[in-house]
Amino acid sequence: MSGEGTRLIMGPFNRVEGDLEVRLDTSLDTVVSAEVSSPLYRGFERMLVGKPVHDALVYAPRICGICSVSQSVAAARALARLSPAAVPEAGGYAVNLVHAVENLADHFTHFYLFFMPDFAREVYAREAWYAPIAARFRAIKGSAAREALQARASWMEIMGLLAGKWPHTLSIQPGGSTRAISRPEKVQVLTLIRRFRQYLETTLFGDKLEAVGELASTEALHAWSEGRSSDFAQFLQVARALELDRLGRTRNAHMSFGAYEQGAGHLFAQGVWVAGAVQPLETASIAEDVSHAWYAQMAGAHGPLRDAPVPDVQNEDAYSWCKAPRLGGQVVEVGALSRLLVDGHPLALDMARKGGHVTARIAARMLELALVVPAMEGWISAIDPDAPFIDHSALAPVGEGAGLTEAARGSLGHWLCADAGRLDHYQIIAPTTWNFSPRDRRGVPGPLEQALEGTPIRPGEEEPVAVQHVVRSFDPCMVCTVH
């Protein structure tokens, strides 16, 4: 029961990837403050120390079964700092394709399996929109689950072709992709992309991807959704009815490491979006604070290329295994919305004018589906099947460097040092480490903790449904978060 000054602990908070607990201090009808706790620690950063450098490509993807390729890409890029290898153009496209298949599958899985089933909860049974939404999106039993699983599985057939299997491929290497793509395979892949496009255009959007990608304002988005019965349009109608644009508000800076390399740049640009202006990314100002996490306290933060926190359950201020990464000491938010803000997509800019919110985060993922699938058709078509896909230059036994990429959920970085052909330092900062960070030494809460403040609680609610929407709107990946 919610009452004045109640402490509420929600866990296991499921339909997220991995383990999550959310602790709330509530008043009668509102969340006053929140603490986000990651309760599982596995120790990949320490496990990797002492391993042959190239073996990072076996261990790193296994940090996460849902962002496995992103972990491969970050590890391969960090290892590439030990080598003069330059990824050949065709190899770059092949890696982009494999990475995009994973990222888009994650957006798709999040929407159908993780996020939407909350609208089938009994608490909404009296809403006018309830019956068709519950029939469509109810967990496991709704009509969408089966259809979405089938569309997703057929989409993942691209992984069978280009990466051997998913998750946990070894096809992504510092010098490119192990899997050259032949002329007939180009057509096979293009056909699989078109099959997914067909599902998206028929069922998810009910419109051409290009038409969705061109929606330029909140007003245009809502006009587009009216009278449309596609899955995304139905979400937008519910979002309006429930005013999800008022939920999960944040006023943070947004960061992107840049997604899908194309020539010298990216399909989605690198940078930091602060109050409407884009600034260059200064990775040297990234550092992790462990004041509220179960690690031995350090004299100061020097960044992930130098710091290697040691687990310590004795820290009495701690409530999470998640460290608190900060950019120049500031909280930043990452994810699809952040990528589109940094890249200047007009719909993202309009939706987030007054800050991030639940509707904007969901819409940004859907927008990425609409924008990236056409880009993939371009990449596969641009591949010269007679060109090299990989550069085999050897890795130097000594060196250091960072590997940066964008996972589905946002910015992912690996920082490593090598000596005598072995790793002697390895640090990982994952997207949800940024988004679900605990407080830092100044007591500043992380993005989700901020987003939860002020979340309404319905009369008699024991585990507020609005909290569920806010938490899942970030699409957290907890196994990446702590690793």
Partner 1 sequence: MTRPVRLLWLQSGGCGGCTLSLLGAQGPDLVSALELAGVEIVWHPSLSAASGREARARIEAVASGDEPLDIFCLEGSVMTGPDGTGLFHRMAGTDEAMMRVIERVALRADYVLAVGSCAAFGGITAAGGNEVGAVGLAYDGRQAGGLLGPDFRSGKGLPVINIAGCPIHPDWFTQTVQQIAAGVFDERDIDEWQRPLAYTGHLVHHGCARNEFYEFKASAENLCDMGCMMEHLGCKGTQARADCNIRAWNGSGSCLDGNYPCINCTAPGFEEPGHEFTQTPKISGIPVGLPTDMPKAWFVALASLSKAATPARLKDNAARDRMVTLPRDKARDAGGAKPGKGKQ
Site for partner 1 in 148-187 (CB under 8 A): 149-150, 152-154, 156-171, 173, 177-180, 182
Q: Check residue 121 for interaction with partner 1 (CB under 8 A).
A: yes
Shortest Cβ 47–partner 1 spacing (Å): 3
Cβ burial of 337 (10 Å; 0-12, 13-18, 19+) is buried
Interacting positions 241-270 with partner 1 (CB under 8 A): none
- 3-state class (DSSP) for residue 25: strand
The span from the CA of 376 to the CA of 370, in Å, is 11
Shortest Cβ 321–partner 1 spacing (Å): 8
Q: CB nearer to partner 1: give 165 or 194.
A: 165
Residue that is written with structure tokens 């884009």 in the block: 278
The span from the CA of 122 to the CA of 134, in Å, is 9
Query: Near partner 1 by CB under 8 A, which window of 54-62, 219-227, 250-258, 443-451?
Result: 54-62
End-to-end CA distance of the chain: 34
Q: Are strands 31-37 and 324-327 parallel, antiparallel or unpaired?
A: unpaired
Q: Check residue 120 for interaction with partner 1 (CB under 8 A).
A: yes
The span from the CA of 172 to the CA of 176, in Å, is 6
Token reading at 408 = 């589905």
Q: CB nearer to partner 1: give 20 or 364.
A: 20
The span from the CA of 292 to the CA of 309, in Å, is 13
Shortest Cβ 274–partner 1 spacing (Å): 33
Shortest Cβ 56–partner 1 spacing (Å): 10
- C-alpha angle 377-381-385 in degrees, rounded to nearest 5: 140
Q: Check residue 20 for interaction with partner 1 (CB under 8 A).
A: yes
Buried-state track 409-418, b at ≥16 Cβ within 10 A, e below 16 = bbbbbbbbbb
Shortest Cβ 304–partner 1 spacing (Å): 19
Interacting positions 385-414 with partner 1 (CB under 8 A): 388-390, 392
- Contacting residue, 30, 32, 130, 139, with partner 1 by CB under 8 A: 139
Q: Check residue 13 for interaction with partner 1 (CB under 8 A).
A: yes
Shortest Cβ 399–partner 1 spacing (Å): 17
For 238-288, the DSSP string reads HHHHTTGGGSS-B--EEEE--EEEETTEEEE--EEEETTEEE---GGGEEE
Q: CB nearer to partner 1: give 37 or 252.
A: 37
Buried-state track 164-197, b at ≥16 Cβ within 10 A, e below 16 = eebbbbebbbbbbbbbbbeeebbebbeebbeebb
DSSP bridge partners of 259: 268
- Contacting residue, 31, 66, 200, 301, with partner 1 by CB under 8 A: 66
Shortest Cβ 472–partner 1 spacing (Å): 10
Q: CB nearer to partner 1: give 48 or 221.
A: 48
Shortest Cβ 403–partner 1 spacing (Å): 18
Shortest Cβ 176–partner 1 spacing (Å): 8
Interacting positions 449-468 with partner 1 (CB under 8 A): 462-463, 468
Interacting positions 291-350 with partner 1 (CB under 8 A): 311, 313
Q: CB nearer to partner 1: give 110 or 326.
A: 110
- Amino acid symbol at 435: N
Alpha helices in 383-435 (DSSP H): 431-435
Q: Check residue 65 for interaction with partner 1 (CB under 8 A).
A: yes
Interacting positions 187-206 with partner 1 (CB under 8 A): none
Size of the site for partner 1 (CB under 8 A): 84
Shortest Cβ 179–partner 1 spacing (Å): 5
Pattern 81-110, partner 1, x by CB under 8 A:
----------------------------x-
Cβ burial of 443 (10 Å; 0-12, 13-18, 19+) is exposed
- Contacting residue, 32, 58, 220, 269, with partner 1 by CB under 8 A: 58
DSSP state for residue 202 in the 8-state scheme: I
Interacting positions 371-390 with partner 1 (CB under 8 A): 388-390
Shortest Cβ 124–partner 1 spacing (Å): 12
For 69-80, the DSSP string reads HHHHHHHHHHHH
Buried-state track 259-293, b at ≥16 Cβ within 10 A, e below 16 = bbbbeeebbbebbbbeeeebeebebeebbbbbbbb
Interacting positions 21-50 with partner 1 (CB under 8 A): 21, 37, 39-43, 46-50
Alpha helices in 231-290 (DSSP H): 231-241
Token reading at 325 = 């990464």
Q: CB nearer to partner 1: give 82 or 331.
A: 82
